[in-house]
Structure 1
């Protein structure tokens, strides 16, 4: 049973390594209406859904992002490639950060690079970020496998197979959760330090 469970996790990791992401070259270079934006995101990020009925992006979400100053308003009801890039960042960040924290991260980028015609563009930045993430995915998979193996070594004295699976699964979840918590804390500290510096400068 433990071997079957391990194989299930390894298959999951393989699917994560092959997960869909939107490459820089896939970003439409023409302005899109809202329906086209939601369709594009749903088609390209389908594999990241937990449940089939989940929505990647809705009109209500986009309107709320604009109201909360996460997203510049559209021009004549159309969204540019730069809007699309910001929506992709928001999609991933909202899974573990508050709206205020996402504002703190994205607003400086938007103010400096949205619509920029000189120097770096949001597209240049996105391309670099994608390259960094591609380089990082294999090390992330190796770290998860290491945690899987460590959790499998826990509760060695438990003989009942069902109890063993329950406890090792719990241990694995706790190890992954602690990892997420540590990284989230680092992100929040980085955000707070930046905001603190801004407040001091005022």
Structure 2
């Protein structure tokens, strides 16, 4: 069980860009990249991986995933959107992320939606989800451990890891498919 506690801790589930960490002043692209690299460094699978690059940001801008930048500077609202893009792109295609954010960008630029308040609620929800995930990891470990014990195989540790990996990927796929269905609904309403 200790291994599952370590796994949950090593996921860095609370690695999110908080509003307090977003400067009040507008940032140039290099500053945005540095901020994200520092904040999300622990979430990278490999040390050489990049959290955010100039190419990524330029592609997000060209793809209209966020409203236009003025004078090559990114506002707090841009950083919030880039943070949301960063989280979503791990599970959704860039087109799905764009579909999801299109109306939000419109509401921010045309309707004056207070993006900071929405983002604060988003952070609260993902904080709650992190706690639920830790519980789920423990529960799955217990369940898998019980199943592996019935197999009476000398390679029980491997079989346990195999079943946990298969369980986690299945759940991930189920959540991704649920999100994609919701994106499709958004796309049908635009």
**TM-score, normalized by the shorter chain, greater than 0.5:** yes
Q: Is the 8 A contact 2:12 2:43 kept in 1?
A: no
Shift of 1:147: 0.6
Q: Tell me if 1:192 matches 2:187.
A: no
Distance 1:111 1:49 in 2: 32
Residues paired across the two proteins, number: 189
Of residues 127, 131, 134 in structure 2, which corresponds to 1:138? 131
**Runs (4+) off by over 4 Å:** none
Shift of 1:19: 3.6
Q: Is the 8 A contact 1:105 1:191 kept in 2?
A: yes
1:35-73 CA-partner distances (Å, limit 9, x unpaired): 111001111111111111111111111011111111223
Moved more, 72-81 or 8-17: 8-17
Q: Which residue of 1 aligns with 2:160?
A: 168
Distance 2:130 2:109 in 1: 28
Q: Which residue of 2 aligns with 1:3?
A: none
Shift of 1:194: 2.3
Distance 1:15 1:108 in 2: 35
5+ residue gaps in structure 1? 1-5
Assess, with a 3 A threshold, how the Cα gap between structure 1 residues 145 and 165 changes in structure 2: closer, same or farther.
Answer: same
Shift of 1:86: 0.7
Q: Is the 8 A contact 1:19 1:47 kept in 2?
A: no
Q: Is the 8 A contact 2:19 2:120 kept in 1?
A: yes
**2:91 alignment partner, SS class:** coil
The normalised TM-score by structure 2 is 0.92
Between structure 1 and structure 2, the one with the greater Rg is 1
5+ residue gaps in structure 2? none
Q: Which residue of 2 aligns with 1:127?
A: 120
Q: Tell me if 1:47 matches 2:14.
A: no
Shift of 1:174: 1.2
Moved more, 189-198 or 174-183: 189-198
Q: Tell me if 1:104 matches 2:130.
A: no
Shift of 1:104: 1.0
Q: Superposition pairs for residues 60-79 of structure 1, below 5 Å? A: 60-79=55-74
Q: Is the 8 A contact 1:17 1:138 kept in 2?
A: no
Of residues 142, 147, 151 in structure 2, which corresponds to 1:157? 151
Q: Is the 8 A contact 1:31 1:81 kept in 2?
A: yes
**1:14 alignment partner, SS class:** helix
**CA RMSD across the alignment:** 1.7
